[in-house]
A and B are shown apart, each in its own frame.
Chain A
């Protein structure tokens, strides 16, 4: 029986340990994928053999990565690592913990996605859009970081600072929405590659692989077009597009507010000033047009006026 007292249960240690395991999983999955890409996983096929140096490098990196993570997962190493963290202020710790949880979730999803790569592709279906994948960071931002930008400002520069913070906030939200939209646009590309890959496998097994590279391209572009059509008709796409446009509009409007403040310091008219003038000119012109039409003489029989 050991006389060493068992370490106290530390939630941060659990978190770190889980994260390290996840990181190892991701690294492992990535390393496993290489032979498949290189064609080594398809027996009977003429495969491209990667250079020995690169394979050695890849596998040694994987080993080193796993070894390093394993070492870090040891309770003693974990305790040492966490000692540093415990000295940090509470706020930093909270932010770190939240971020770690977020990254943990992201990594879990990455691992899931890597596993999905080996699953058969379902043509023209977008039921598994995995939209939460990118929403995670947005959630963290909204729940944990955003409130720092909405802290009430004080003093003479209160309104200027608030507008600036607002534009930073809207920019972050726009970036998140844009990332989600771009991710969605890339989904058909990813799916089309998988479908074409499967089609090619079938053709290869049947000994019917086309010899002309144009056939491969035509096959891919047709599948890609079909996937895009399916995506674009989905409710998810319309909603994501609308959200992205909303986020863009909100960011541009907030940025404009900051610009207007800056322009006030210069002898330059702002959009707001010019819009007021333009609106007045527009209304005057409309009134003139109406009066002109009222003053026009009536038409005669031949249409002369």
Chain B
């Protein structure tokens, strides 16, 4: 006798089995969710050594003898928070840097309020960043420090290095957009259609929740459905739940972006692509990438849907430096910092690269 085309009996049997498993999982999940959970993020101890308005400078006390004479300043984006670099023990770029003997500083941009709406890119780069760099230089009695930028913070770091090359010894850019004229990423396509003037005039600061909604809409099937189906399937595993909640905490902790900074970033970068063409003006100065003469290490993710490779990989060919290196990791925008695989390939590589260039 031929097998039935629709194996109803097998499908029903599997459904019954799944239902039993789901019930058992729900019972275990209840114990996990109602019990104590370790979901704190950014737990590595630090001191706030400098403050200006809402901006703080974190310094991480060394956990071993310092291996690099030159300290490293990490500049995160204004979108989301720098806590992503210290998400959990074992998945922490901060810890890896400390383990490698790097003297580490990181900018915490804080939460902009209505009064910060007039702050421009110039205020962030030539104001806060420059004051912080000077503070670290004074503290260590050094002419130059190392600078590492992340995403939009990387763009700020590129601008800073071009405007103040005398203060930067080595520049590390990670998932940093500098070429905005690409159709590879949806964000680049969408931002061309956005009326930045109207948004800023209406909202003052750009609401973080609105930006987050935009990021979720980049892939709603995965980010709004599949992710939570995955959570339901593994919510009886304490480690999984803890990591999942840590990530949720980070994702939805979204400060607003100061209005004038958002306006200039969208218009000059996403819509006119001025930075890579050496035509972007910050304050009263034009940003000339040829003035970036220090060594440059440029990381980006092959599967980054926010800042695609095409947005990152032009930089090294446009700067004035002869010592440049591009590294494309097989991961996405966030995976570069948090995936287990990249924990081995990313921060240790930066530490080794900086050590090689730490000569006086």
Contact = CB atoms under 8 A, between A and B. Distances in A.
A228 interface: yes
Contact of A305 (B137, B193, B195, B199): B137
A305 to B, nearest CB: 6
B11 A211 contact: yes
Interface in A48-67: none
A217 B229 contact: yes
Interface in B1-49: 3-8, 10-11, 13-15, 18
A305 B141 CA distance: 8
A274 B143 contact: no
A153 interface: no
Interface in B192-206: 192-195, 198-199, 201-204
B76 to A, nearest CB: 22
Q: Which 4 A-B pairs have the closest CB atoms?
A: A303-B143, A225-B221, A242-B193, A249-B202
A207 B5 contact: yes
A211 B119 contact: no
B221 A249 contact: no
A204 interface: yes
Given A211-B14, A245-B199, A282-B118, A205 B193 contact: no
B5 A205 contact: yes
Contact of B202 (A233, A252, A275, A282): A252
A233 to B, nearest CB: 7
B336 to A, nearest CB: 22
B6 A271 contact: no
Nearest to A286: B123
A147 interface: no
Nearest to A224: B221
B202 A242 contact: no
A229 B192 CA distance: 17
Contacts of A213: 11, 14-15, 18
A250 B195 CA distance: 12
Nearest to A293: B130
B286 to A, nearest CB: 19
Contacts of A305: 134, 137-138
Contact of A233 (B8, B15, B144, B186): B186
Interface string A185-204: 10010000000000000001
B6 A45 contact: yes
Centre residue among B198, B199, B229 by max chain A CB count within 10 A: B198
Interface in A262-305: 271, 274-275, 278-279, 281-282, 286, 289, 299, 302-305
A189 B241 CA distance: 28
B143 A271 contact: no
Interface in B284-333: none
A239 B194 CA distance: 9
B6 A209 contact: yes
Interface of A: 44-46, 185, 188, 204-207, 209, 211-213, 217, 221, 224-225, 228-229, 232-233, 238-239, 241-242, 245-246, 248-250, 252-253, 256, 271, 274-275, 278-279, 281-282, 286, 289, 299, 302-305
B117 A246 contact: no
A281 B217 CA distance: 37
A271 B204 contact: yes
B229 A209 contact: no
Nearest to B145: A303
Nearest to A205: B5
B14 A212 contact: yes
Given A217-B229, A221-B225, A225-B219, A46 B6 contact: yes
Could you tell me the dominant secondary structure of chain A's interface residues?
helix
Q: Which of B10, B14, B118 has its CB near the most chain A CB atoms (within 10 A)? A: B118
Contacts of B202: 248-250, 252-253, 256
B89 interface: no
Nearest to B214: A241
B198 A207 contact: no
A274 B138 contact: no
A299 B114 CA distance: 36
B226 interface: yes
B201 A253 contact: yes
26 contacts: A45-B6, A46-B8, A206-B5, A209-B6, A213-B18, A217-B229, A221-B222, A228-B220, A232-B218, A233-B189, A238-B190, A245-B194, A245-B198, A245-B199, A246-B198, A249-B202, A250-B198, A274-B114, A275-B117, A275-B204, A278-B118, A282-B115, A286-B127, A289-B127, A303-B137, A305-B137
A185 B193 CA distance: 17
Contacts of A271: 114, 204
Contacts of B5: 44, 204-207, 209
B194 to A, nearest CB: 6
Contact of A282 (B119, B137, B204, B222): B119
A188 B8 CA distance: 29
A204 B222 contact: no
Interface in B104-163: 114-115, 117-119, 123, 127, 134, 137-138, 141-144
Nearest to A242: B193
B3 to A, nearest CB: 7
Given A185-B217, A213-B11, A250-B202, 20 more contacts: A45-B6, A46-B6, A204-B6, A209-B6, A211-B7, A213-B15, A213-B18, A225-B222, A228-B219, A229-B219, A232-B190, A233-B183, A233-B189, A238-B193, A241-B190, A242-B193, A245-B199, A246-B198, A286-B123, A302-B143
